[in-house]
Structure 1
Amino acid sequence: MSAGQAPGTLARVRRLVTLAVVLTVSALLVPDAAPRPPQVALVQVDRAAGVDPAAGADEVVWILAVGSDARPGEDMLRVRGDALQLVGLHTRTGAATTIGIPRDSYVSIPGYGSDRINAALFYGGPRTMGDAVGELVGIRPDYVMVTRFPLFEDLVDDIGGITVRNPRAFRDSDLKPLGFEAGRIRLDGYGAMAFARIRKELPGGDFDRSANQQIVLRGIRDAIAARSDEPGFIARGVQSVLRNLSTDLPPGELFRLAQTVAQVDPTKITGCVLQGGIGDINGASVVIPDVAAARRYGEDARRDAVISRC
């Protein structure tokens, strides 16, 4: 937590962290009376050590957030990924950064040759997806979080929707026929999903979609911050996630990860979308990512979770 934060913010963080660990332990030790298919999975990529807020000042935790394209009945960990955002969190300063990666980026997938990066989840699951992102950015994530889109919609609805600033008007004949107006707009769960997934009608295609995903993430952050003092609000959110969570992380690790997320300072968040060109591989349109820029983002944010420029 940064030294400049107010006592009220510190109190909210302590309440959130305490609540998170209590609910986490409860969820892991008390069987659910009505088991349901997991809607979000959290996987730790093999590393010598996980998140440790007590470590040195240069400690940054990296989480790869992936939206799964899984249909009902499909394994969400072995289909193509959709939204790809690599998130870095500094355990001491509260800084955070996001690197948006277009899903059609044509990259090397360790052990499987070259393909669109979203195919890495299909080929080898979350760890292979983490390997592919590590190969591109130069930073292998500590954790990979995979989410089904219906849960994402429910969570946005549960926090009362979000407000975002849309840089351009756009529409999609399937997902959003009436489209989104430019400027400040309000989104419910379905609207947030559509805003984050539409690509074909955007002038920048996959690049603009990735930028829209970051806009949605900021909207979610702002909505949660605005309601964090509301009695029972955080409790309902944490319980909802835990009921749908599949993970093999022990309670202590979940607690430390929740603590790191809770310490993010909204004034210390940066983010970039990886740019590139459009190419053709075997008749398929792909994104040729700017690998040099990807490595620059990774190197820039490696130690302090801050990207100085896009």
Structure 2
Amino acid sequence: MPAPFRKVRRTLRTGALALVLAAAALVVPDAAVHPTDVALVKVERADGVAVRDQDVIWVLSVGSDARPGQPMLRSRGDAIQLVGLNTRTGSAVAIGVPRDSWVPIPGHGHGRVNSALTYGGPALMGRTVGNLVGVQPEYVFVTRFPFFEDMVDDIGGIHVRNPRRFSDDDLKPLGFARGRIKVDGYGAMAFARIRKTLAGGDFDRSANQQRVLRGIQQTVRARADEPGFVERGVLTVMQHLHTDLPPGELFRFAQALAHVDPAKVTTCVLGGSIGNVRGASIVRPNVAQARRYGAAARSDAFLRRC
């Protein structure tokens, strides 16, 4: 059998096996007790906002700032990325929303966008970001940062393309070199969270978060054919996952992820300006730009330019 056909068959096999394992983990509970470090929650889209095209799934990805003992789904959010997945073409788009963006939060006046998770959990967080961009997410995916670090370590680290050298006295005193660099779990977390020493502040941090997501996706794609790699990864996530999705819908979600083509991934960070509210620094997001991104990517999960 020609090599290209063998590769396609292996990819289909590992993808199908991942879906089977994901369903099995839902239907046959693990006897061990594991902490909830990841949540995939389906949310109701607000009326009056255009819904997704049938080929595109919209997911809001959020990192929870919850400390040990704090509820993951009711703590401030970070690493806020609105992600569109096109199940037909394999394209994907990520729209980064700076965490300090000052926006209307339904039922709570105005506030930083990341506080919506505290006020109303994933549903309110999804609605708040959806109102800003004009596309309501169907799912909200939340994870704790310690689990994120472990996940990156489990896949052997990732490579990211760093456009400029930067450091942070607390998180990374020795800093990150410019260029293509490899980072472990802690390094990926620090790369995604450092803000104060970046020239663009919250905007550059959001762009770095997108670079980390690209690095994870590329590493998983490159290692997917290794025996046992997909199986171990799926089981690890499922053991720590809280979800309200039935197995059939989880299949649909997993299939969308499995079909992403790295060559068809586009990323943009929502722009804006720095402001001040009651003595606190905020980001005033460019709402018109947010709506343009949403309108352009809604039907095909692709942005031609930022």
Q: Give the TM-score range, shorter chain.
A: over 0.9
Any idea what SS the aligned residue of 1:77 has? helix
- CA displacement at 1:24 relative to structure 2: 2.1
User: Who is 2:38 aligned against?
Assistant: 40
Superposed CA deviations along residues 116-149 of structure 1, whole A, max 9, x for unmatched, are 0000000000000001001100011000000000
Judge conservation of contact 2:103–2:112 (CA < 8 Å) in 1: yes
Superposed CA deviations along residues 44-82 of structure 1, whole A, max 9, x for unmatched, are 01259xxxxxxx985210010000000011100001001
Determine what percentage of the aligned residue pairs are the same residue: 65
Alignment of structure 1 residues 152-163 onto 2, 5 Å: 152-163=148-159
Superposed CA deviations along residues 9-31 of structure 1, whole A, max 9, x for unmatched, are 64344223322232123212223
Judge conservation of contact 2:35–2:240 (CA < 8 Å) in 1: yes
User: Who is 2:220 aligned against?
Assistant: 224
User: Who is 2:49 aligned against?
Assistant: none
Judge conservation of contact 2:19–2:255 (CA < 8 Å) in 1: no
C-alpha distance in structure 2 between counterparts of 1:7 and 1:47, whole Å? 41
- Is the counterpart of residue 191 in structure 1 residue 190 in structure 2? no
Alignment of structure 1 residues 120-199 onto 2, 5 Å: 120-199=116-195
C-alpha distance in structure 2 between counterparts of 1:59 and 1:86, whole Å? 16
Q: TM-score, normalised by structure 1?
A: 0.93
Any idea what SS the aligned residue of 1:118 has? helix
Judge conservation of contact 1:58–1:90 (CA < 8 Å) in 2: no
C-alpha distance in structure 2 between counterparts of 1:46 and 1:126, whole Å? 10
Q: TM-score, normalised by structure 2?
A: 0.94
C-alpha distance in structure 2 between counterparts of 1:12 and 1:83, whole Å? 33
Alignment of structure 1 residues 91-130 onto 2, 5 Å: 91-130=87-126
Alignment of structure 1 residues 143-292 onto 2, 5 Å: 143-292=139-288
Question: Given the superposition, is the C-alpha separation of residues 57 and 119 from structure 1 closer, same or farther in structure 2, using an over 3 Å criterion?
Answer: closer
Judge conservation of contact 2:224–2:230 (CA < 8 Å) in 1: yes
Superposed CA deviations along residues 162-207 of structure 1, whole A, max 9, x for unmatched, are 1111101111111111111111111000000000000000000000
User: Who is 1:16 aligned against?
Assistant: 14
Superposed CA deviations along residues 267-296 of structure 1, whole A, max 9, x for unmatched, are 111110001000001111000000000000
Judge conservation of contact 2:63–2:80 (CA < 8 Å) in 1: yes
Q: Tell me which stretches of 4 or more aligned residues in structure 1 moved more than 3 Å.
A: 6-10
User: Who is 1:3 aligned against?
Assistant: none
Which 5+ residue runs of structure 2 have no aligned equivalent? 47-51
- CA displacement at 1:8 relative to structure 2: 5.0
C-alpha distance in structure 1 between counterparts of 2:53 and 2:66, whole Å? 39
- Using the TM superposition, name which of 9-18 and 244-253 deviates more: 9-18
Question: Given the superposition, is the C-alpha separation of residues 282 and 163 from structure 1 closer, same or farther in structure 2, using an over 3 Å criterion?
Answer: same
C-alpha distance in structure 2 between counterparts of 1:271 and 1:164, whole Å? 14
Question: Given the superposition, is the C-alpha separation of residues 76 and 95 from structure 1 closer, same or farther in structure 2, using an over 3 Å criterion?
Answer: same
- Is the counterpart of residue 82 in structure 1 residue 107 in structure 2? no
Opposite residue 36 of structure 1, the aligned amino acid is: H
Opposite residue 124 of structure 1, the aligned amino acid is: G
User: Who is 2:57 aligned against?
Assistant: 61
Opposite residue 264 of structure 2, the aligned amino acid is: K
Q: Which of 293, 299, 307 is 2:303 aligned to? A: 307
Which 5+ residue runs of structure 1 have no aligned equivalent? 1-5, 49-55
C-alpha distance in structure 1 between counterparts of 2:63 and 2:86, whole Å? 23
Aligned length: 298
Opposite residue 185 of structure 1, the aligned amino acid is: I
- Using the TM superposition, name which of 292-301 and 176-185 deviates more: 176-185
